[in-house]
Amino acid sequence: MTRQPILAGNWKMHLTKRKASALARDVAATQGMATGRECMVFPTFVHLDHVRRNLKGSNVKLGAQNCWPKKEGAFTGEISPYMLRDMGVDVLLIGHSERRHLMSESDALIVEKVKLGLKAKLEVMLCVGETLEEREANLTFEVLARQLKALKVVKPIYFDKISVAYEPVWAIGTGLTAAPETAQKAHQECRRVIGGVLGPEVAGSIRILYGGSVKPDNVSALLSQPDVDGALVGGASLTIEQFGPILQAAPSA
């Protein structure tokens, strides 16, 4: 089964309206030269519309970093996946470690977000990953299995709308990229668990991205691992000088 890689930029709470728009234009121009891969960017909510306009005419997908799992209602300060869809968003990032750990999002809340995001006709990228303490206590696979259980709610009609990002918390923003073999072991385990939750066919076709200090000089080695189907990039996605080479990187031989 060949899985088309996804190269994605999570811009987190960075950039100005002008910088995000300019970066979107540069990403669209760079991606135009790449084939056989998908590209997506996740700007902050308030930049979504500007970025959307600057991606117009390209095949770069527009992503949102979060949502609230209700269609509408009295939820001051929150944003519904239906509003995001209406805005032209294609993909929703759910369960990013910064939301799990800094905003105390629970597995139960994440399940609701996955469910409603898909119902709102968005693609969903579910983020999973262990902390350093969990890795050192040999709990990595246990944590991944628990977090991946959120996929249980995915109905067969949405099977081709989901992807997973494995982002070990200790590798995010630290420069401590997981060694390609370490990433491969975790990805392989994620695929095995997904097979148990959604069946072998989905396990074979779902894209599992790696995230955590991905840079132009380590992306090829990561992409060359058999179960690594792309990268979710934070810091290095904020300038075209770094994100450009990542978008065009090929697996190393």
What is the binding site for ligand 13P (CB under 6 A)?
Answer: 10, 96, 167, 172-173, 211-214, 232-236
Cβ pair 68, 96 in contact under 8 A: no
Q: In the 3-class helix/strand/coil scheme, how is 183-208 assigned residue by residue?
A: HHHHHHHHHHHHHHHHCHHHHHHCCE
Ranked by CB distance to ligand 13P, the top (closest) residue is 234
Specify whether 78 is catalytic.
Answer: no
Residue type, 65: Q
Nearer to ligand 13P (CB atom), residue 82 or residue 166: 166
In the complex, least distance from residue 217 CB atom to ligand 13P, rounded to whole angstroms:
13
Beta bridge partners of 62: 41
Annotated active-site residue 187? The verdict is: no
Q: How far is the CB of 212 from ligand 13P (least distance, A)?
A: 5
**CB-nearer residue toward ligand 13P: 173 or 195:** 173
Residue 43 or 82 having the CB closest to ligand 13P: 43
Least distance in Å: CB of 79 to ligand 13P? 19
Question: Which residue among the candidates 47, 96, 130, 187 is catalytic per the annotation?
Answer: 96
Angstrom CA distances, 171 to 33, 54, 58, 101, 155, stand at 30, 31, 31, 14, 32
Q: Which residues, at least 6 apart from 16, have a Cβ–Cβ distance to it below 8 Å?
A: none
Q: What's CA 39's distance to the chain center, in Å?
A: 11
Shortest Cβ distance from residue 112 to ligand 13P (Å)? Answer: 21
Q: Which residues are catalytic?
A: 96, 167
